[in-house]
Structure 1
Amino acid sequence: MTTEQPGTPESATSTYVFAVCRQLDPAALSGLAGLAEGFPVRGLCFGSLTAVVQHVPAAEFTEDAWQQRLSDREALEHCARAHHEVVTAAAACGPTAPLALATLYRGDERAREALGADTDRFTAVLERIADHAEWGVKVYLPAATPTPSATAPAAPLPGGDGAPGGAGRAYLERKRGLRQAREHHHDRALQTAEDIDADLTRLATATRRLRPHGPELTGEKHRLQVLNATYLLPAVRAKRLLDSVERLRHRTGAEVEVSGPWVPYSFVGEV
């Protein structure tokens, strides 16, 4: 269903597109603020599909204006939250393909034209994600720490002139042992990540492995993120996923954080 706004001066507004869906109950969008005050969030039909859109003031949503938002963390977070709120409301009505933040067209007709040209891809994506949700999984292990013997100062050896050489050899041995311990810890972390991912992938329709966040991003030095992945999962397998995660925690000793279910943002670009 399309809900047009009579009398809207299209030259003064752009059409912002949040998502594309197969069916939409207009009541699901009622009261949503979206990204611009005074303009309702609404449906815009193109062929058999419906875009979730909103008029926004064109002057406030230029490319330069978006660049300013991207450099302002608070403004960017506000836009991202508003975008997600609308997408989530639409997804309650059925399969919904979120579009990227800042998807804008010069009016409804231009939006219809551009989206309509991509109807086949949208149809395939919506078919693929029907009755599915996205789940995020992050896995952590304790960060490697040197053993006391590896960091202790080299003890002097008896024997006069031989002592400096002996202390040097002992120091090199400790350094070698420390390096080997780090390598062993790294190998174990990688294997744990692979084992957990393999278990969860068996439940999923599709998976995406993301780059794990280092301490500079997580701000945590006591634990190491070894897996950062997202899974497209049939809704009926949600409990199996959570049960598997609990079993993996006990089996591997890793910290496993699960988030979801989410609208499948990570999988709408794949057909």
Structure 2
Amino acid sequence: MNEGPNTSADARGTGAGEMTYVYAVGREGPALDGLAARLPGVDGRPLRSVDGGGLCALVSPVPADTFSEQGLTAQLEDLDRLEAVARAHHAVVDAAFAETSVLPMRLATVYRDDARVADMLVRQRSEFHELLARLEGHVELGVKVCAGPRSAAPPVAAAVTSSEGGAGRAYLRRRQAQQRDSRDAYRAASEVAARAARLAEGVAASRAVHRPQQGQLASGPGVNIANDAYLVPRERAEQLRRELPALAEGVPGVSIEVTGPWAPYSFATAVAAEGADGGGPR
């Protein structure tokens, strides 16, 4: 096994005014080399592979002015541009994960050139090989538990308005009922989330607890109570996808959304960006 950088990759690599964008790292071999020959990267730039330490990184050239720290800051503030970069990044990772076990890099992980990537692979080879062995045969499932209204807002009858102090008192009664409804839904969702965690942890090799989604990031109905990821043996993933949503059946105002299976993003980035030269998300 060659433990040094692949000099042929370095020779054909980053040109003037360019940096090297890293998508994923896997074991050195034909699977990722073949993928690099047929798949584009960010902005349609050609994908290539860089080897080192018995590992292979999928990379592509990107303009240095837009992927330096200042350039990236501007891109991250442009939601349309950020979405385009993220889609291209995830397309490469997903295609690589379909071929072999890989460690997804954080979005917008860039190095000055291919030689820096090869050096990183050699420097971190023990950590990467250990992590690849742990993730072998596993996928990531996302589990979101949400609390929504348990029932429609109670109607305000004309008789109540006239006999109990008018619209102001009726409004207060309605608001109190809505608040009770929200508290009940939140309590029920918390109980369902605890049951979901026990069920998933009985199958999963690891769990990552993420911050509940809010605002534009929230994809499900109601308030996101739990937003977790689980590292699951590939052969058990479909079982969990069926069993977890069933926990919310018959529970008013509570829903469970299961996403995936995905490449193990939540479990693969602890060592992924050491020494990166760009200013991407950390």
In 2, Cα distance between equivalents of 1:136 and 1:34: 25
Answer with 58-67 or 95-104: which moved more.
58-67
Structure 2 residue identity aligned to 1:32: L
Assess if the C-alpha contact under 8 Å between 1:23 and 1:94 holds in 2. no
Instruction: Name the counterpart of 1:163.
Output: none
Instruction: Name the counterpart of 2:276.
Output: none
Greater radius of gyration (CA): 1
- Is 1:43 aligned to residue 49 of structure 2? yes
- Helix, strand or coil: the match of 2:100? coil
Displacement of 1:8 after TM fit? 5.3
Displacement of 1:147 after TM fit? 4.2
Higher relative contact order (CA 8 A, sep 6+): 2
In 2, Cα distance between equivalents of 1:19 and 1:255: 33
TM-aligned CA distance change 1:178 to 1:124, over 3 Å: same
Assess if the C-alpha contact under 8 Å between 2:145 and 2:189 holds in 1. no
| Equivalent pairs, count | 260
Identity of aligned residues (%): 31
- Is 1:100 aligned to residue 106 of structure 2? yes
Q: TM-score, normalised by structure 1?
A: 0.79
- Helix, strand or coil: the match of 1:92? helix
- Helix, strand or coil: the match of 2:107? coil
Gaps of 5+ in 1: 158-167
In 2, Cα distance between equivalents of 1:70 and 1:83: 14
Q: TM-score, normalised by structure 2?
A: 0.77
Q: CA RMSD in A?
A: 3.4
Instruction: Name the counterpart of 1:244.
Output: 243
Question: Match for 1:62 among 68, 73, 89?
Answer: 68
Assess if the C-alpha contact under 8 Å between 1:80 and 1:101 holds in 2. yes
- Is 1:80 aligned to residue 86 of structure 2? yes
Displacement of 1:28 after TM fit? 1.8
Aligned residue runs from structure 1 range 251-262, under 5 A: 252=251, 254-262=254-262
In 2, Cα distance between equivalents of 1:50 and 1:201: 32
Displacement of 1:244 after TM fit? 1.1
Assess if the C-alpha contact under 8 Å between 1:29 and 1:90 holds in 2. no
Structure 2 residue identity aligned to 1:15: T
In 1, Cα distance between equivalents of 2:22 and 2:219: 35
In 2, Cα distance between equivalents of 1:189 and 1:56: 45
In 1, Cα distance between equivalents of 2:178 and 2:121: 57
Instruction: Name the counterpart of 2:37.
Output: 30
Gaps of 5+ in 2: 272-282
Answer with 254-263 or 22-31: which moved more.
22-31
TM-aligned CA distance change 1:194 to 1:11, over 3 Å: same
Displacement of 1:263 after TM fit? 0.5
